[in-house]
Homo-oligomer: A and B are copies of this chain.
Amino acid sequence: MTGAKAKPHEAPTVRVALLGCGNVGSALAEILLTRQDDIAARTGIHLELVAIAVADPSRPRSALIPGALICTGAAELVARPDVDVVVEVIGGLHPAHELIGAALRAGKPVVTANKALLAVSGAELADVASASGVDLLYEAAVGGAIPVIRPLRESLAGEQIVRVMGIVNGTTNFILTRMEEDGCSYEVALAEAQDLGLAERDPSADVGGHDAAAKAAILAALAFGSDVVDADVHREGITALSSADVAYANHLGYAVKLLAVAELIDGGPEISVRVHPAMVPRAHPLASVRGAFNAVFVEGAVSGELMLYGRGAGGGPTASAMLGDLVDASRNLRAGAPAPAPKRTSATIRAQTEMRSAFYLSMDVADRPGVLAAVAKIFGDHNVSIRAMEQVGLAEEARLIFLTHVAREGDLLATIDELRMHQAVDRVSGVLRVIGEEGHEA
């Protein structure tokens, strides 16, 4: 192996360059510096951290990281002959894209957790890695410490995956859990998440579903071997959810979760890839995923239902997943056999309006005779069949809660458009898909 030192009677050394030294980078550097011997005993590989490239070397860092390891030229570091493997934890598209590309072209495996980059350029970078015969591994890009990518790529390699549904954003799951458990508003729950450091000052990447959409694209690419990019993902966030809707959903026996879904339609080749809040039945394993935890639920044709659960973010958990990749990449580098990269084909994505689901709707209407009949007629005119209706609130205004049978999403949207124009309807607010009813005709 190029550049690796194999000492007799010792674990062979693989030399690691780290690009970036934020939260995750520091955690990984500390593990590599303090647990080198444990890791060698456990894995047979001696991982030696040779340098850490950072943008600003003057920033204070962990006392466990010697200043001599810090350097500034990431591109030069990647090219150094005494670097065997590269770990990228800079994040963002540039210069991460160029650095990863350069490392792979130089025959150096890359470990990254850069979901934004992978969701845009994953297929291209996988091709570069494949052409160089080295690994591009990214277990930490979805679900932090949870083994998700490797099971999809290896354990289920021979399986036909039918659907993947994930709670892949801890910030939104924390907010939704708080709204459900304490009945607080979205704004109050968000402020609490920000105080705890679980949400950014500008929370839009999380609450708007962008982060989950990038992960949905990665999951779809792995599950179905399709070239899915994040622009392909139908995306709805949680900002429009009211605590009242979360409470009604709860009362009806459901938890509200922001789901990233990738599914094969009618055996394929069409797929659907989407992110939206959904009502998940209490008995479903995803309903019990609370707070900042993540989980990915996988349905295979033969394996049945699987769920992988754990901490989806944080320096330690993310670093732990990257360490697993680093060991894997190092072993594969020494063996000269990279991890298998499934062939990708172009994806055929079904339009969201053609998708079928049961829906929950809440609307505020004038509380006078005839209104319900008028509203019900609008549903019927658009082929949306009502499974249950409940009136809540007793003032002049009434709130109506509807659960529909499985309906075409385009028909439901047309129903909402017409409801909004009706003089007795003040507001159509919560619209949630109901999990557990898809595909089953009413």
Asked if A122 is an interface residue, CB under 8 A from chain B, the answer is no
Whether A439 sits at the interface, judged by CB under 8 Å, is no
Contact of B316 with A311 in the complex, beta carbons under 8 Å:
no
Looking across the interface, which residue of chain B has its beta carbon closest to that of A289?
B285
10 example contacts (A-B, Cβ-Cβ < 8 A) are as follows A43-B157, A147-B155, A154-B327, A154-B328, A156-B324, A157-B328, A158-B323, A283-B290, A303-B316, A306-B309
A31 to B301, CA, bound (A): 11
A147 touching B342 by the CB < 8 A rule? Answer: no
Measured between alpha carbons, how far is A151 from B303 in the docked complex, in Å? 17
A49 smallest CB distance to B (angstroms): 13
A47 closest partner in B (C-beta): B158
Is A308's CB under 8 angstroms from B147's CB?
yes
A side interface size, CB within 8 A: 58
Contact of A42 (CB < 8 Å), options: B225, B290, B307: B225
A interface residue numbers (CB < 8 A to B): 27, 31, 35, 38-39, 41-44, 47, 139, 145-147, 150-151, 154-160, 225, 283, 285, 288, 290, 300, 302-311, 314, 316-317, 319-321, 323-324, 326-328, 331-332, 335-337, 340, 342-343
Q: How far is the CB of A168 from chain B (nearest CB, A)?
A: 15
Write out the residue numbers on chain B whose beta carbons fall within 8 Å of the beta carbon of A327: 154, 157-158
Choice from B35, B160, B310 contacting A38 with Cβ under 8 Å: B160
Return the chain B residue nearest A300 by Cβ: B320
Would B156 and A320 count as touching, CB distance under 8 A?
yes
Are B159 and A320 in touch, CB under 8 angstroms? yes
Contact between A309 and B311 (Cβ–Cβ < 8 Å)? Answer: no
The residue that A155 contacts in the complex, of B39, B150, B302, B304, with Cβ under 8 A, is B150
CB proximity of A169 to chain B, nearest CB, Å: 17
Oligomeric state, in copies: 2
Closest chain-B Cβ to A31's Cβ sits at a distance in Å of: 6
A158 partner, pick from B31, B306, B310, beta carbons under 8 A: B31
Having A150-B155, A304-B317, one finds 8 other A-B pairs with CB under 8 Å, namely A31-B158, A31-B302, A43-B158, A44-B340, A145-B302, A156-B320, A303-B321, A304-B314
Q: How far is the CA of A27 from the CA of B317 in the complex (A)?
A: 37
CB distance from A289 to the nearest CB of B (A): 8
Q: What are the 3 tightest A-B residue pairs by CB atom distance, in nearest-first order? A: A335-B337, A303-B320, A145-B303
Complex: how many Å from CA A154 to CA B155?
11
Q: Which of A41, A303, A323: most chain B CB closer than 10 A?
A: A303
Q: Note all chain B residues with C-beta closer than 8 A to A324.
A: 154-159
Assembly CA distance A155 to B339 (angstroms): 13
* Chain B positions within 8 Å of A38 at CB level: 160
Chain B nearest CB, measured from A346 CB (Å): 14
Q: Which residue of B lies closest to A156 (CB)?
A: B324
Decide yes or no: A303 and B308 within 8 Å by CB, A155-B150, A159-B323 being known contacts. no
Q: How far is the CA of A195 from the CA of B149 in the complex (A)?
A: 38
Complex CA distance for A270 and B103, rounded to whole angstroms: 42
